[in-house]
Amino acid sequence: MNDHLHALIQCTQDRWQPTIGDPHLMGWITVLGYGLAALAALTALIRTQATTRPTAEKLFWYLLVPGLVFLMINKQLDLQSLLTAVARCEAQLSGWYADRRPVQVAFIFALIALGTALLGILAWLLRQSLDRLWLVLLGITLLVTFILVRAVGFHRVDVLIGTELAGWRLNWLFELGGITLVILGCRYAIRRSD
């Protein structure tokens, strides 16, 4: 095995272990939220199958259900921390860790642009169903962008989203807000498909 790859694997194993990522009450509430969102999406999928909705909309639901189940599992496995550990180890092994800030900032802006582009692409592909799916798409975009920005591990962003407002951390508001939008969007889509 390549020495660099072996060192990267060893460094990553030293920094990340598969454990419960957020064992606190809000972590489990978030897991429950993802589970409820997956059930809402499954209900929408089942309801959509009995209609003449466009194929793109049906495919959207088929992809959303396992995606939400993955996010539910990921909430406690904390796989984005694995990604962060790999990136940090690579930066250290390659010698650019001290100069990582510009890379992190560029990555965050790239992720925001990617999230915006994803929303645009999904909106275009689902344009015939947008009147029913716009709220779900907004929630998914918020969730995916939030998760990817968290994965960057930029200290200032971590401090910002860890800030509390009236006893609520901003990261709870972003994640639970995105989940809520998905659930409400699923319910809205179900009502609109009747």
pLDDT tens digits for 62-109? Answer: 999 999 999 999 888 877 778 778 888 888 888 888 888 888 778 878
Beta bridge partners, 148, equal none
Residue 44: C-alpha distances to residues 15, 23, 53 (Å): 40, 30, 12
Question: Which is more confident, 153 or 74?
Answer: 74
Residue 168: C-alpha distances to residues 2, 6, 42, 164 (Å): 46, 41, 30, 5
Number of domains making up the chain: 1
Per-residue pLDDT at 154 exceeds 70: no
Per-residue pLDDT at 10 exceeds 80: yes
Question: Is residue 190 within 8 Å of 47, Cβ to Cβ?
Answer: yes
| Segment 7-13 mean pLDDT | 85
Structural domain boundaries, residue 40: 3-13+21-193
The pLDDT value recorded for residue 139 is 94
Per-residue pLDDT at 24 exceeds 90: no
Question: Which is more confident, 148 or 86?
Answer: 86
| Segment 118-146 mean pLDDT | 86
